[in-house]
Structure 1
Amino acid sequence: MSVLKPGIEERVAEVRSRIEKACLEAGRKPEEVKLLAVSKTFPAEAALAAAQLGLLSLGENYAQEGCDKVDWFRANHPELSLEWHFIGPLQSNKTRPVAEHFSWVQSVNRMKIAERLSSQRPEGMPPLNVLIEVNVDGEETKSGVKPEEALQFARDVAALPNLKLRGFMVIPTPEEDPEKQKVPFRAMKKLFDEANAAGLGLDTLSMGMSSDIESAIQCGSTMVRVGSAIFGPRDYGHGH
């Protein structure tokens, strides 16, 4: 039985074609860019609809909501092998459930968070894939590691047990103009290349959302995080 919401099929097809077109224009292969469906604030049924269309990597921003969804899928759809990404701000008192439920955490920005995730990852589970969130614009109000501190921080995180450092994640200040969108993305690609030149062996650069997929892909993104362009506009009315 399918629970596809009206329109989700068309929206997913449209996002996939945007990714494909952007890759072609950048001289890249479409399979070099992973599409992460950001299901935060949407019900588990909406995430199921995306999974039934082949989107098996899902992103959540809130620890409780995300863990509830993971549990719902484990109970109701054990046949789906989903990859759950935690992409929101993580408080240290919420690290345990996240370490127990998710495959990836994209928002590691403090050593305390990394250490807790490392020590709380259950035995018998594969290492937790982590990305370091970089505050590429250097904005005071934003979380993330400063770009000039990111390389040393990456080395420190990579040394922790039970974690596998995969790369960087960035949420730049929203910009309408594609040329302005590319400035922070280019800076992140440079940092990513420097980290690999230093031997860190990273493979993931998570950048680009519904409004700037094209610019991110042109600058080397390997993962785009797309919510509203897949699920429709968000309703933040219930508790978030």
Structure 2
Amino acid sequence: MTESQTAVRPERRAELAAGLARVRARIADACAAAGRQRDAVTLVAVTKTYPASDVVALAALGVTDVGENRDQEAAPKAEAVADAGAGAAPRWHFIGQLQRNKARSVVRYADVVQSVDSVRLAAALDAAAGAVRDRPLDVLVQVSIDGDPARGGALPGAADPQRGLDPVAAAVAGADGLRLAGLMAVAPLGWEPDRAFARLAEVAAALRADHPGATVLSAGMSGDLESAIGHGATHVRVGSALLGMRPALR
């Protein structure tokens, strides 16, 4: 990407600042309603399909964490943002489905991978991280709240040695190149957010009993972040409510 692709137009900066103010207010209100401290919740700006210039602008506005879901878009975007050198570099979260053959690319720029849902993927990330990183990669195990294996996510209580939540968490926790940081989930289609996130909170509590350091809970997006925060989310992933509707990158 060229310098012009990371330059921020004043009108776009103003749009992002307004969106950020609205989202921050929603998070603050949700924390207050749940009796939680505001700094207990981290905003992850989901910048998939948005240009690198938006990431540069958000970083300048104080956003510390950004999320991407496709390696072919995220890798060059992370490089462009780093090259722009505008303020502190954000923490990059990989939040989409990840194929094992993309592991070596993702571990070069991602600080967190939120979508590990199999023992095989954990092993691939561990091998890649050990080869190219000087510190462990933070990993969240993605949970299937409704237990539907077709939708992705590790399966709580399942005996499946590859996709069961306990085997996946154990594989991550036992990997030298990875650090089990916690869980991530998306509310299933057709479920009320409160029902989904209450179930997720139960799963997270059970995981922490076995892995006390796994305290991160990534849940909630533009439409349901209040419910997620009410049920203990430490990270919310917000795209459209923050950045608005934008055309997809080509």
The answer to whether the superposition gives a TM-score over 0.5 is yes
1:218 equivalenced with 2:230 (yes/no): yes
Equivalent AA in structure 1 for residue 23 of structure 2: V
Local SS of the residue matching 2:144 = coil
For the structure 1 residues 235 and 78, does the alpha-carbon distance in structure 2 shift closer, same or farther, using more than 3 Å as the test? Answer: closer
Superposed CA deviations along residues 98-147 of structure 1, whole A, max 9, x for unmatched, are 01111100000111111111111145532100000111112343011112
Larger deviation, residues 82-91 vs 132-141: 132-141
| Aligned pair partner of 2:106 in 98, 113, 117 | 98
Tell me the number of residue pairs that the alignment of Structure 1 and Structure 2 aligns.
Answer: 235
Contact 1:85–1:104 under 8 Å retained in 2: yes
Equivalent AA in structure 1 for residue 97 of structure 2: P
Taking the aligned partners of 1:200 and 1:156, their CA distance within structure 2 comes to: 16
Equivalent AA in structure 2 for residue 152 of structure 1: P
Q: Deviation of residue 80 (structure 1)?
A: 2.1
Partner of 1:137: 146
Contact 2:44–2:67 under 8 Å retained in 1: yes
Superposed CA deviations along residues 68-97 of structure 1, whole A, max 9, x for unmatched, are 111112222164232000000001111110
| Aligned pair partner of 2:48 in 32, 40, 48 | 40
For the structure 1 residues 134 and 124, does the alpha-carbon distance in structure 2 shift closer, same or farther, using more than 3 Å as the test? Answer: closer
| Aligned pair partner of 2:127 in 115, 119, 122 | 119
Taking the aligned partners of 1:72 and 1:9, their CA distance within structure 2 comes to: 21
Superposed CA deviations along residues 41-70 of structure 1, whole A, max 9, x for unmatched, are 000001111111100211001001101111
Superposed CA deviations along residues 135-172 of structure 1, whole A, max 9, x for unmatched, are 11123430111121313321221101110110000012
Note the 1:56-67 alignment, pairs <5 A: 56-67=64-75
1:160 equivalenced with 2:175 (yes/no): yes
TM-score using structure 2 length = 0.88
Partner of 1:150: 165
1:52 equivalenced with 2:60 (yes/no): yes
Contact 2:122–2:171 under 8 Å retained in 1: no
Equivalent AA in structure 2 for residue 221 of structure 1: A
Partner of 1:68: 76
Taking the aligned partners of 1:235 and 1:172, their CA distance within structure 2 comes to: 25
Local SS of the residue matching 1:7 = helix
Note the 1:201-216 alignment, pairs <5 A: 201-216=213-228
Taking the aligned partners of 2:216 and 2:171, their CA distance within structure 1 comes to: 18
Contact 1:3–1:48 under 8 Å retained in 2: no
| Aligned pair partner of 1:170 in 180, 185, 205 | 185
Taking the aligned partners of 1:112 and 1:78, their CA distance within structure 2 comes to: 37
For the structure 1 residues 40 and 184, does the alpha-carbon distance in structure 2 shift closer, same or farther, using more than 3 Å as the test? Answer: same
Question: Aligned-residue CA RMSD in angstroms?
Answer: 1.8
For the structure 1 residues 195 and 93, does the alpha-carbon distance in structure 2 shift closer, same or farther, using more than 3 Å as the test? Answer: same
Taking the aligned partners of 1:42 and 1:164, their CA distance within structure 2 comes to: 29
TM-score using structure 1 length = 0.92
Unaligned runs of 5+ in 1: none
1:183 equivalenced with 2:183 (yes/no): no
